[in-house]
């Protein structure tokens, strides 16, 4: 069986796609905590992931939590990505976990089999723009070859053993996946110049495409213009208003759901005006950054699309579209666009790239 996957490492989340299956997880690894977990209602692999990483000097099995269970249960946690790739060992492990989960979800393997199951895999992996090119090359090389993977469901205690033969693995910049995905949706048959802005939880990534290729001189990772930025600014304003200590992270879920009512100290507050004010301010700042980066492109560049993607599109889209028009970056609103499923679009674009490579080998 051949598994074809696209995997996107964002500033806070890891997103992966293959066929009808998708996997979205916090980009966190954490120390394994022994404990009783028999009554938890959620028995899914995605939220109970434990990885077997080897043996210690005394011969004891070493495990680590991954993703949602690491976020909830681990005392010591490590972010896998941020403004760039930090530890290649952690990234490789996250790729292996993503492959295993997608192999289960797509039916490529049988989760009921206890023996080692072997599959072939072709992958495309996206990393933050701040990642050095040399590190991207090293990551691509080390992800190829035969990988032994053992994962355990911490709730059910089921274990799956995999031997994955990764025959091809391309590593590219994250927003490039949404560029590829949008060209497919718009039925563009040739490459076009474009600027892709990926608004994530922890940063905004701006990638310029010139003559079909990423132009790093006109691209940047901006940590202070993101969903976290919005939540932090609203939290500070609410602190001034109420005198209560409020954490921006506590507002993230409400913002994602589009809610405007919060309860602070037993009092219900409407934050719709605050949210509108800071969304507009961040959208204008993002647009100024885009203008600055576009000015670094060669004079013959012809930007056909300004593409927006990522988890922040819901909140920022209308203000960004208007700011682009007001600042004369676009003359036609159709030049501002986003993929249909912008939350997973990078991974879907990478899956398309991997599928194209797979077809060429057959």
By the 10 Å C-beta count (0-12 exposed, 13-18 middle, 19+ buried), 275 is classed as: buried
Which percentage of the chain shows pLDDT scores above 90? 76
Residue 356 lies in a domain: no
- Computed over every residue of the chain, the mean pLDDT equals 92
3-state secondary structure of 200: coil
Residue 355 lies in a domain: no
Q: Are residues 167 and 194 in the same domain?
A: no
Q: Are residues 204 and 158 in the same domain?
A: no
Residue 208 structure tokens:
């310029």
End-to-end CA distance of the chain: 13
Q: Are residues 309 and 236 in the same domain?
A: yes
d(CA 48, CA 25): 11
Is the Cβ–Cβ distance between 131 and 137 less than 8 Å? no
CATH number of the domain that 143 lies in?
3.30.420
Q: Are residues 127 and 258 in the same domain?
A: no
Residue 321 lies in a domain: yes
- Provide the number of structural domains found in the chain: 2
- In DSSP terms, 163 is beta-bridged to 118, 148
> Which spans in the chain are helix H?
68-73, 88-105, 133-143, 176-185, 227-242, 248-256, 272-294, 313-326, 345-360
Q: Using one digit for the tens of pLDDT, what is the confidence trace for 112-148? A: 998 999 999 999 999 999 999 999 999 999 999 999 9
CATH number of the domain that 216 lies in?
3.30.420.40
Q: Are residues 16 and 151 in the same domain?
A: yes
User: Cα-flanking dihedrals φ and ψ of residue 288, to 5°?
Assistant: -60, -40
Q: Are residues 317 and 227 in the same domain?
A: yes
Q: Are residues 238 and 156 in the same domain?
A: no
Helix axes 345-360, 176-185, angle to 10 degrees: 80
256 vs 210, which has greater pLDDT?
Answer: 210
CA–CA distance from 325 to each of 149, 240, 290, 293, 333 (Å)? Answer: 49, 34, 13, 17, 7
Q: Are residues 161 and 235 in the same domain?
A: no
DSSP codes, 6-71: EEEE-SSEEEEEETTEEEEEESEEEE------TT-S---STTSEEEEEEE-TTS-EEEEEETHHHH
Does an H or E element contain 173, and which? strand 159-173
75 vs 161, which has greater pLDDT?
Answer: 161
Question: Sign (positive/negative) of CA torsion 291, 293, 294, 299?
Answer: positive
Which structural domain, as residue segments, surrounds residue 262? 190-340
Q: Using one digit for the tens of pLDDT, what is the confidence trace for 41-73? A: 889 999 999 999 988 888 889 999 999 999 889
Q: Are residues 85 and 211 in the same domain?
A: no
Residue 39 has pLDDT above 60, yes or no: no
Computed on alpha carbons and rounded to an integer, the radius of gyration of the chain in Å comes to 21
What's the CA angle centered on 160, arms 156 and 162, to 5 degrees? 165
Residue 360 has pLDDT above 80, yes or no: no
In terms of DSSP bridges, do strands 2-9 and 117-127 run parallel, antiparallel, or are they unpaired?
Answer: parallel
Q: Using one digit for the tens of pLDDT, what is the confidence trace for 143-179? A: 999 999 999 999 999 999 999 999 999 999 999 999 9
By the 10 Å C-beta count (0-12 exposed, 13-18 middle, 19+ buried), 45 is classed as: buried
DSSP 85: B
Q: How many CB atoms lie within 10 A of CB 224?
A: 12
Residue 254 lies in a domain: yes
296 vs 60, which has greater pLDDT?
Answer: 296
Q: Are residues 197 and 309 in the same domain?
A: yes
């Amino acid at each position: 069986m051949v598994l074809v996957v696209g995997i996107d490492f964002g500033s806070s989340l890891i997103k992966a796609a293959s066929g009808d299956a998708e996997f979205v997880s916090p980009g966190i690894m954490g120390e394994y905590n022994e404990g009783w977990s028999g009554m938890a209602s959620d028995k899914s692999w995605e939220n109970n992931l434990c990885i077997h990483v080897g043996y210690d000097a005394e011969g004891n099995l070493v495990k680590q939590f991954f993703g949602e269970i690491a976020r909830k249960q681990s005392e010591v946690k490590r972010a896998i990505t941020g403004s760039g790739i930090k530890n290649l060992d952690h990234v490789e492990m996250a790729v292996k976990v993503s492959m295993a989960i997608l192999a289960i979800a797509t039916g490529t393997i049988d989760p009921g089999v206890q023996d080692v199951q072997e599959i072939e895999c072709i992958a495309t992996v996206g990393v933050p723009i701040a990642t050095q090119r040399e590190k991207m090359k090293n990551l691509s090389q080390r992800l190829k070859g035969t990988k032994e993977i053992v994962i355990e469901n911490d709730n059910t205690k089921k274990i799956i053993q995999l031997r994955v033969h990764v025959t091809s693995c391309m590593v590219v910049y994250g927003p490039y996946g949404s560029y590829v995905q949008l060209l497919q949706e718009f039925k563009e048959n040739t490459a076009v110049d474009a600027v892709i802005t990926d608004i994530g939880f922890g940063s905004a990534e701006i990638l310029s495409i010139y003559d079909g290729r990423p132009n790093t001189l006109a691209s940047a990772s901006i940590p202070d213009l993101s969903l976290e930025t919005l939540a932090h600014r609203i939290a500070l304003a609410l602190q001034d208003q109420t005198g209560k200590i409020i954490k921006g992270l506590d507002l993230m879920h409400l913002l994602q759901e589009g809610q405007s009512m919060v309860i602070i100290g037993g009092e219900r507050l409407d934050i719709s005006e605050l949210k509108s004010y800071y969304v507009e301010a961040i959208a204008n700042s993002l647009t100024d950054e885009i203008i600055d980066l576009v000015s670094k492109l060669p004079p013959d560049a012809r930007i056909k699309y300004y593409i927006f993607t990522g988890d922040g599109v819901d909140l920022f889209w209308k203000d960004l579209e208007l700011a682009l028009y007001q600042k004369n970056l676009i003359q036609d609103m159709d030049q501002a666009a986003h993929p249909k499923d912008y939350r997973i679009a990078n991974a879907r674009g990478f899956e398309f790239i991997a599928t194209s490579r797979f077809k060429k080998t057959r």
